[in-house]
Structure 1
Amino acid sequence: MGNDLNNFVMKKGKEKTPFDKKNEEKKVTKLVRISEDVQIKAKIYSVQNKIRMTELLDLAVKEYLENH
């Protein structure tokens, strides 16, 4: 049984899951209010591009801060 799983993983490769540990910077939880239309657009984008909303908004804020 174990060998079958190992063979499958070797052939297909291991996909990342939310349970995989990441070497990320420390995250804090803050309540931020955004307009409903921005939230809807961000949610649609995140689903279509398979990215968490938290990651999308984190990247967007970082990019904004770098450019302004």
Structure 2
Amino acid sequence: MDRAMLWLEDGSFRYRSDAPFIFYHISFSIKGGEVLALLGRNGVGKSTLLSCPMGFSPLVLQGIEKYSQI
């Protein structure tokens, strides 16, 4: 399967407009059958990174796309 199931392009996130960015200009795509592992210490933004493309956290972005069957 070639189509990306989740695609994020040039996304940035911060909790408040006056706060520093947690992540800045990040891009990734995940295709069907692929496995993504996010590794890092507590509090570095792993859950936040995954919640943004799903719409649970606000995201400043250029592009985001979710395949309709997710």
The TM tier, using the shorter chain, reads under 0.3
With normalisation by structure 2, the TM-score equals 0.21
**Which one has the largest radius of gyration?**
1
Higher RCO (C-alpha 8 Å, min separation 6): 2
Structure with the larger strand share? 2
With normalisation by structure 1, the TM-score equals 0.22
